[in-house]
A and B are shown apart, each in its own frame.
Chain A
Amino acid sequence: EDKVVQSPLSLVVHEGDTVTLNCSYEVTNFRSLLWYKQEKKAPTFLFMLTSSGIEKKSGRLSSILDKKELFSILNITATQTGDSAVYLCAVDLSGTYKYIFGTGTRLKVLA
């Protein structure tokens, strides 16, 4: 059975801290891995990763994929209260185009 697991489930930090969110997966037909940020509405796209070892970066956020060890991390540096959200990891399955979502990590950044 295809599975995506995220850790930690929740995290509380103070502004300025750096956080690392983890996503591991076991799927039969991997195409890509995606990270989303979800506040009180639908998820917003952050990154899509298809190749191992190539860091994707957007401002204070960065992400990398390890296809050998089957995991990805999302780093957020100098966190701000606006980063408080649920961060979702999803694996895109080739052939079906379906996404399998992880459980999500709920991040709260305190002022």
Chain B
Amino acid sequence: GAVVSQHPSRVICKSGTSVKIECRSLDFQATTMFWYRQFPKKSLMLMATSNEGSKATYEQGVEKDKFLINHASLTLSTLTVTSAHPEDSSFYICSARGEGRETQYFGPGTRLLVL
């Protein structure tokens, strides 16, 4: 159990466009979801924490108007990168945690390339 999916797995877009990434918990209810980004050869950096039905909590230095997070249901969270620029190119990973579960479960990640 505890499978988390992400879609798309890879996306290439033009500068100035918006990109939406979906994160789904397939076999459990995710009360909390987390969004990370990872630059090449770097570790995972937490961007924001979202709880179902409430506003996301962003980490220091993460622009909430640029990285819109929605956690509308217990199985789905979305990250929208608005007006993407080349410097937003990165590997975005979501994770989910359910009630009574001891750890976060990671999705497979989304590689974003902004041209």
Q: Which residues of B contact A102 (CB under 8 A)?
A: 43
B46:A42 contact, CB within 8 angstroms: no
Selected from A34, A42, A99, the residue in CB contact (under 8 A) with B109 is A42
Contact flags (1/0) for A89-111 with B, using CB distance below 8 Å? 01010001111111110100000
A-B contacts at CB below 8 angstroms, number: 46
Q: Which residues of A contact B46 (CB under 8 A)?
A: 98-101
CB distance from A91 to the nearest CB of B (A): 12
At the interface, yes or no: A13 with Cβ under 8 Å from chain B? Answer: no
Q: Classify the interface of chain A: helix, strand, loop or mixed.
A: strand
At the interface, yes or no: A75 with Cβ under 8 Å from chain B? Answer: no
Number of interface residues of A (CB under 8 A): 21
CB distance from B45 to the nearest CB of A (A): 8
Q: Which residues of A contact B32 (CB under 8 A)?
A: 97
- CB-contacts of A24-56 with B (<8 A): 32, 34, 41-45, 48
B109:A104 contact, CB within 8 angstroms: no
Q: Which residues of B contact A92 (CB under 8 A)?
A: 103
B104:A97 contact, CB within 8 angstroms: yes
Q: Which residues of B contact A34 (CB under 8 A)?
A: 103
Question: How many angstroms from the CA of A43 to the CA of B44 in the assembled complex?
Answer: 10
Q: List 7 A-B contacts (CB under 8 A).
A: A34-B103, A44-B106, A98-B34, A100-B46, A101-B43, A102-B43, A104-B43
- Partner-A contacts on B (CB < 8 A): 32, 34, 41-46, 49, 93, 95, 97, 102-104, 106-109
